[in-house]
Amino acid sequence: MEITNVTEYQAIAKQKLPKMIYDYYASGAEDEWTLQENREAFARILFRPRILIDVSKIDMTTTILGFKLSMPIMISPTAMQKMAHPDGEYATARAASAAGTIMTLSSWATSSVEEVASTGPGIRFFQLYVYKDRKVVEQLVRRAEKAGFKAIALTVDTPRLGRREADIKNRFVLPPNLTLKNFEGLDLGKMDQANDSGLASYVAGQIDRTLSWKDVKWLQSITTMPILVKGVITAEDSRLAVENGAAGIIVSNHGARQLDYVPATISALEEVVKGAGGQIPVFLDGGVRRGTDVFKALALGAAGVFIGRPVVFSLAVAGEAGVSNVLKMLRDEFELTMALSGCNSLADITRNHVVTEADKFGVMPSRL
């Protein structure tokens, strides 16, 4: 069967992957309300396309933290990619580089920062969990910097792991042939079988619950890499991110895997953008499955989007070629959406191009 959109990879991945692994990638926290809402909220945003504009040349290029990208679609950190495909993070890194975009490597990757760097040139960010042992964190950050990674995406929404009931039922644990490669040799690379989720037990034992804004300053003291704060969904925290010297914000609810009943990221985006006051770029992570979603995020103020699950599902189905195809499909759909909306470049995409629920129920914005 020919795959014609990103979502179709998920059903095929479900057939192909062992249940424990598929459920780990696919599930959300508790009732999975936010998981569903991350997608459904996009469907409630409608377009206001402009017509009779010359769209014979479309430019999707952008600059993120000084790096030139082919498009505003990047890869978010997803853990343990070798569970999906033997090539794991190597394949994702190569696909991102070939597409001219950014890959973010998870702290909990099944390939190390050095291994991913060895795949060749590419703009890569490193997602960081802060461990109780700060020497481990310091070492990891230094290794990422030495391996040529360009920024840190600091995950700030996980002082404890969300309650993912599928993982509890499955007694999720990293398959025995794999390790968390960045922690190999530190006795932190193994995840033991537990009487609920092995990952939840691992997090409880290792991740620092005292993490606070002062630690953003501490991170700045040990690295020259810019720090993106990943997991912001309110204006208050957006302002604090600016005050504490973050280089950017990633609006994320951790793929709806942490606190259930938080808004979809696309619903929280405008609030966070307003809180940042144009001082630092704001990115959206969560629920992006179509080029139309990318356009909606940019119209609401995002500087770019990150995709997670589409990467692991396409990786499971077809390895590097699958990830490349996801990036190509999203790029092509986004280009088409721009053309049909009357936009030649990202700068042409404005708030006037979309109508949200708030617009429909509130007073129509003064922009009209």
Q: Is position 85 annotated as part of the catalytic site?
A: no
- Residue 365, both tokens: 């914005």
> Is 106 known to sit in a ligand binding site?
yes
Most confident of 129-143, 167-181, 338-352: 338-352
Among residues 94, 254, 296, 353, the one annotated as catalytic is: 254
pLDDT of residue 362: 67
Q: What predicted TM-score, i.e. pTM, was given to this entire model?
A: 0.95
Report the CATH number of the 4-356 domain. 3.20.20.70
> Is 257 known to sit in a ligand binding site?
yes
Q: Name the one residue in this structure whose structure tokens are 């995709």.
A: 307
Q: Name the one residue in this structure whose structure tokens are 């997991």.
A: 231
> Is 309 known to sit in a ligand binding site?
yes
**For 150-205, how does the pLDDT look when each residue is reduced to its tens digit (9 = 90+)?**
999 999 999 898 999 999 999 998 898 998 999 887 766 556 666 666 676 777 78
Q: Is residue 107 a contact partner of residue 140, using CB atoms and an 8 Å limit?
A: yes
Q: Is residue 86 a contact partner of residue 318, using CB atoms and an 8 Å limit?
A: no
> Is 127 known to sit in a ligand binding site?
yes
H helices of the chain, where?
8-16, 19-26, 33-43, 88-98, 113-117, 134-146, 165-170, 198-206, 213-222, 235-243, 265-276, 291-299, 309-341, 357-361
Question: Which of 6-15, 99-108, 160-169 has the weakest average pLDDT?
Answer: 160-169
- Could you give phi then psi for residue 225, rounded to 5 degrees? -65, 140
Average pLDDT in the 275-297 region? Answer: 98
Structural domain boundaries of the chain? 4-356
